[in-house]
Amino acid sequence: MTTSLSLKKIYSGKVRDLYEIDATRMLMVATDRLSAFDVILAEPIPDKGKILTSISNFWFDKLAALVPNHFTGDQVEDVVSAAELPLVQGRAVVAKRLQPVAVEAIVRGYIAGSGWKEYQASGTVCGIPLPAGLREAAKLPEPIFTPSTKAAIGDHDQNINFEQCEAIIGKELAAQVRDISLALYRAAVEYAATRGIIIADTKFEFGLDQDGTLTLMDEVLTPDSSRFWPADSYVEGQNPPSFDKQFVRDWLESTGWNKTPPAPTVPADVAQKTADKYREALTRLTA
């Protein structure tokens, strides 16, 4: 749930702890923490950090031709002492220190979650008009870019329209983020389909390097940042089972929790089933 290394800790997020290596590099460590509805749960999901790291590393490598990523080429064992290496092995990467782009880049190919709720109320998703008569989990005619704000820990991200995104990060960068996000999503969807997985939606995070180059960072196409559905049990009109944290979200909603801290105690069997779903996603994607 927590990490403590001799390196200077510079940030502790919902899932990842960041440590300073030098002016240009940092150690990114994925813990077993789980954030649901922007609240960090008190109970860990077994081996979640290692699974997320493996999935992200797979996708960073697979998508490297489309956009630069945060890898420096250094190995964890090059920057962590032998005594501390077992604490982070399999769950850490050496990453570039970047200037984060101040929006989250969300791409939706299917209508689900908050998008489905908005569509039912107004026929739109993040202000984008969609065809009438769509059912829950329907595939959209084309993937759509629906950015959100980056909230502080404990606060909720807010969906914004593209004009608001332009106001926050500038027109040129907003267009670049949108176009690369859509290209990454389409490439990932095409590959995942060969593994029996539908990627309903996903979130990308970007930063700018010292030269101003847009760089993919943080995590990519994991069960934490994406909605993965098994293709063989997908039925339009109902919320499909998933390989992501929707399982624990559904359990939390069943408790009547008001989505403010603290979260209900997650039973061990729910935590383990969540971990099993994460691991199945890893196995399907990378086996």
Q: Which residues contact 97 (CB under 8 A, 6 or more apart)?
A: 23, 24, 25, 26
Same structural domain for residues 163 and 223? Answer: yes
* Residue 76 located in a structural domain: yes
- Helix 246-254 / helix 268-286 crossing angle, nearest 10 deg: 160
Same structural domain for residues 117 and 224? Answer: yes
* Residue 284 located in a structural domain: no
Q: Which residues contact 280 (CB under 8 A, 6 or more apart)?
A: 243
Nearest residue to 29 (alpha-carbon basis) of 46, 13, 45: 13
Q: Dig out the tokens for 227 from the structure.
A: 């909605």
* Residue 275 located in a structural domain: no
Chosen domain end from 97, 119, 144: 97
* Residue 168 located in a structural domain: yes
Q: Can you give the residue range of the structural domain that contains 66?
A: 8-97
Domain count across the chain: 2
Same structural domain for residues 234 and 121? Answer: yes
Domain CATH number, residue 171: 3.30.470.20
* Residue 226 located in a structural domain: yes
What radius of gyration, in Å, describes the C-alpha atoms of the chain?
Answer: 19
Query: Could you list the pLDDT tens digit for every one of the 287 residues in the chain?
Result: 999 999 999 999 999 999 999 999 999 999 999 999 889 999 999 999 999 999 999 999 999 999 999 999 999 999 999 999 999 999 999 999 999 999 999 999 999 988 999 999 999 998 899 999 999 999 999 999 999 998 765 566 788 999 999 999 999 999 999 999 999 999 999 999 999 999 999 999 999 999 999 999 999 999 999 999 999 999 999 988 888 788 898 899 999 999 999 999 999 999 999 999 999 999 999 98
Same structural domain for residues 221 and 104? Answer: yes
Same structural domain for residues 117 and 216? Answer: yes
Same structural domain for residues 110 and 76? Answer: no
Residue 100 and residue 70 in contact, taking contact as beta carbons nearer than 8 Å: no
Domain CATH number, residue 12: 3.30.200.20
pLDDT at res. 169: 98
Same structural domain for residues 213 and 227? Answer: yes
Q: How many CA atoms lie within 13 A of 23 on its CB side?
A: 1
**Distance from chain centroid for Cα 246:** 13
